[in-house]
């Protein structure tokens, strides 16, 4: 506004000068210039009009300057009022961004927790299954087909050549199959033990080792057990009863049993 007051001040000074000149002419004009008083009065009237015009111009300039200052002040106040609102909007936007990040992290944490719970449940089930598996064991009982369990004595019917069949039965009373069973049948020296109907001459023929690729199933899956039919040739002059020792081994299992047999010749 100060820049706009300089023209107004100049106009005010000019008006004062015109007024002084006009007053001087009215007082001393007729004496020094010889002009009539009417001309001096006309000139004075013009001077007064100029003064009025200058004062009008001064008022217009002051009003325009005040208007501009008012506009500038209004804009400044509007900016001052808008700055806190803008800052508040920025703060709200920042807080909303932080809230969105927290919600995203919470969702990620919930998903991670759910996945961890699933893995934990799966690990628990696997552990329980493995614990039950390790607790399961095959329990092998060796017997003779057609004889009561635990009966260790039996008669053996011989043919004319002294061969007799013995149907051994292996029963699994446990809750786990016995995989890869290997059965060994041992008779006294001079005897011949072999699979039924084979009778292959070999060294150490009083011992028969029989491997099976079939597991001995547990009692829950099969009834009657697994049958091993062997033949024994009894030498002439053998004294009754004679023993046959049976052993079966498998995964972490080894069972032994000794049976006594009495010869039954044909016709007896």
Domain membership of residue 128 as a residue range? 1-135
The CATH number of residue 213's host domain is 2.60.40.10
Taking the alpha carbons at both ends of the chain, their separation in whole angstroms is 149
129 and 11 assigned to the same domain? yes
Longest dimension (CA), the chain: 196
Residue that has been written with the tokens 């759910």 in this structure: 114
Last residue of a domain, one of 111, 135, 159: 135
Same domain, 222 and 146: yes
Residue 215: φ, ψ to 5°: -75, 155
Query: Which residues touch 19 (CB under 8 Å, ≥6 apart)?
Result: 47, 48, 51
Q: Which of 109, 135, 161 is the last residue of a domain?
A: 135
Q: Give rounded-to-5 percent helix, strand, coil for the chain.
A: 50, 25, 25
Do 26 and 87 share a domain, yes or no?
yes
Which residue, chain included where needed, has tokens 């008779």? 187
Residue of higher predicted confidence among 206 and 217: 206
150 in the same domain as 89: no
Bridge partners (DSSP) listed for residue 253: 250
In angstroms, the CA 37 to CA 27 distance is 10
Higher pLDDT residue, 53 or 73? Answer: 73
CB 239 within 8 A of CB 263: no
Residues 111 and 190 in one domain: no
Residues 45 and 111 grouped into a single domain: yes
Total number of domains in the chain: 2
Tell whether 83 and 200 lie within a shared domain.
Answer: no
Q: Are residues 258 and 207 in the same domain?
A: yes
- Per the model's pLDDT, the better-predicted residue between 60 and 110 turns out to be 110
Q: Which residue has the higher pLDDT, 35 or 107?
A: 107
145 and 122 in one domain? no
Q: What is the pTM of this model?
A: 0.51
Q: In terms of domains, do 108 and 154 share one?
A: no
Indicate whether 105 and 155 sit together in one domain.
Answer: no
Same domain, 39 and 160: no
- What does the pLDDT look like over 140-196, one tens digit per residue? 899 998 888 888 999 998 888 889 999 999 988 888 888 889 999 999 999 999 998
Provide the 8-state DSSP code for 203: T
Final residue of a domain: which of 87, 112, 135?
135
Q: Which residues of 78-89 are buried (b: 16+ CB within 10 A; e: fewer)?
A: eeeeeeeeeeee
């Amino acid at each position: 506004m100060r820049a706009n007051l300089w023209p107004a001040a100049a106009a005010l000074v000019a008006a004062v000068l015109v007024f002084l000149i006009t007053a001087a002419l009215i007082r001393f004009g007729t004496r020094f210039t010889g002009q009539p008083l009417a001309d001096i009065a006309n000139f004075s009237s013009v001077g007064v009009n100029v003064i009025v015009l200058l004062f009008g111009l001064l008022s217009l300039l002051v009003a325009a300057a005040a208007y501009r200052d008012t506009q500038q002040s209004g804009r400044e106040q509007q900016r001052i009022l808008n700055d806190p609102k803008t800052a508040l909007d920025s703060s709200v936007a920042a807080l909303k961004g932080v809230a969105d990040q927290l919600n995203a992290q919470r969702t990620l944490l919930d998903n991670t927790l759910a996945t961890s719970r699933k893995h934990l449940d799966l690990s628990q089930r696997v552990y329980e299954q493995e614990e039950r598996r390790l607790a399961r064991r095959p329990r092998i009982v060796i017997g003779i087909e057609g004889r009561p369990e635990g009966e260790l004595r039996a008669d053996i019917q011989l043919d004319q050549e002294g061969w007799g069949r013995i149907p051994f039965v292996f029963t699994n009373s446990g809750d786990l199959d016995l995989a890869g069973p290997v059965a060994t049948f041992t008779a006294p020296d001079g005897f011949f033990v072999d699979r039924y109907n084979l009778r292959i001459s070999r060294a150490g023929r009083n011992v028969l080792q029989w491997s099976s690729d079939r597991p001995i199933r547990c009692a829950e899956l099969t009834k009657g057990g697994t049958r091993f039919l062997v033949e024994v040739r009894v030498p002439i002059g053998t004294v009754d009863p004679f023993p046959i020792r049976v052993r079966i081994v498998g995964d972490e299992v080894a069972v032994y049993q000794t049976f006594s047999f009495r010869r039954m010749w044909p016709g007896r």
